[in-house]
Amino acid sequence: MVRKIRLYGDPVLREKAAPAGPIDAEVRELAADLLDTLTAADGVGLAAPQIGVLRRVIAVHPPPDPSGAREAARVYVDPEVAERSGGEESAEEGCLSIPGVYEQVRRPRQVLVRAHDLDGAPFEVRVDGIVARILQHEIDHLNGVLFVDRVGPMRRALLKRRLRELQA
């Protein structure tokens, strides 16, 4: 089911999500709703708080690579960044909860993420580039952190008016 994406100013976006708990029918339904909503919004990542659910579940569907191939969408239950490496790089980010706002954000180039799949099996992935960026962005959502919190103070000051408009 496609759910409403919460927008900047909604207090749920600033709260820390609780662990997903046992992977049961409720968590699987949440995962399906995240995937449906992500697909409908044509996004690359979505966290449960963005649809108003304070549980540590994210869905990721990276954009096609230069050859046009696209990885399948994947759900991560209770994801955590276990390791950051490869130095940092700056790239433009946007967010389904902050439509029309794009800013340069510095993040580690490579991360090791640990999570569980929908069968409860633990897994880890070491990713870099855009996938690493998407995972870090979505895991930030689980901690009540938005990408605009990660821009420099001058850019943030310039964004204040735009963010107030979104909040209204």
Percent helix, percent strand, percent coil in the chain, to nearest 5? 35, 30, 35
Chain position carrying tokens 């605009």 = 148
Burial 78-117 (b: 16+ CB within 10 A, else e): bbeeeeeeeeeeeeebbbbbbeebebebebbbbbebebbe
Per the CB < 8 A criterion, the answer to whether 49 and 8 are in contact is no
Give the pLDDT mean for 9-19. Answer: 98
Say what percent of the chain tops pLDDT 70: 100
Q: Does residue 165 have an active-site annotation?
A: no
Catalytic residue among 29, 93, 138, 165: 138
Q: In 3D, which of 45, 10, 5, 18 has the Cα closest to residue 137?
A: 45
At residue 59, φ and ψ (nearest 5 deg) are: -125, 135
pLDDT score at 31: 98
pLDDT score at 51: 98
Total domains present in the chain: 1
Q: Is residue 81 part of a domain?
A: yes
Q: Is residue 161 part of a domain?
A: yes
Band of residue 153 on the pLDDT scale cut at 50, 70, 90: confident
Q: Is residue 159 part of a domain?
A: yes
pLDDT tens readout for residues 93-139 = 999 999 999 999 999 999 999 999 999 999 999 999 999 999 999 99
Q: Is residue 4 part of a domain?
A: no
CATH of the domain at 91: 3.90.45.10
Q: Is residue 3 part of a domain?
A: no
Q: Judge whether residue 148 has pLDDT over 80.
A: yes
Band of residue 164 on the pLDDT scale cut at 50, 70, 90: confident
Cβ contacts of 69 within 8 Å, gap of 6 or more: none
Q: Judge whether residue 168 has pLDDT over 80.
A: no
Residue type, 168: A
